[in-house]
Structures are given as structure tokens and as C-alpha cells.
Amino acid sequence: MAKIFSRHSQADAAIRKIAPLLEQKNENPRIYMMAMREKLTDDLALYKLSPAGQGERLRDIYESGTCQKLYE
């Protein structure tokens, strides 16, 4: 989510953290990430919200303490 909000240093940190996980997958990392994005969209029911509502929901999650710990 950091990339969505133009937080490039946090996005880079997140990519470094998940790189070992992606290397363990037997599939293309891009396909895996697309599947994760789809799961997030479904789990949060983002498709039911307006674009502004989607942004607000994602921003709330991104700014949460739990999410921020992942970027440290």
C-alpha cells in the first residue's frame, strides 16, 4: 500500500521484507501479487465502495499501527 500513497522508501522496505517469501513461491511473483491484490479487494469488499471510499478505507488501514510496523 505504501506505493499507492507514494511512500517510496516504505514500499522498498516492504519489497525487501517479502522478497524471501516470493522466492519460495513456485509461480511468477507478479501473478502471486495480483492474486494477493484481488484477495484484499474481496476481503475488504472494496468493490462495494466508491473510489473515494476505497481510498479512505485503504488509507485507514495503511495508517494503522499494525500496518506501519510492517514497514519498519
CA distance 42 to 46: 7
pLDDT band at 36 (very low <50, low <70, confident <90, very high): confident
63 or 48: which leads in pLDDT: 48
What's the pTM? 0.66
Is residue 61 within 8 Å of 5, Cβ to Cβ?
Answer: no
CA distance 40 to 9: 22
Is residue 57 within 8 Å of 41, Cβ to Cβ?
Answer: no
C-beta contacts of 2-11 below 8 A and 24+ residues apart: 2/62, 2/71, 4/58, 4/62, 5/59, 5/62, 7/71, 10/71
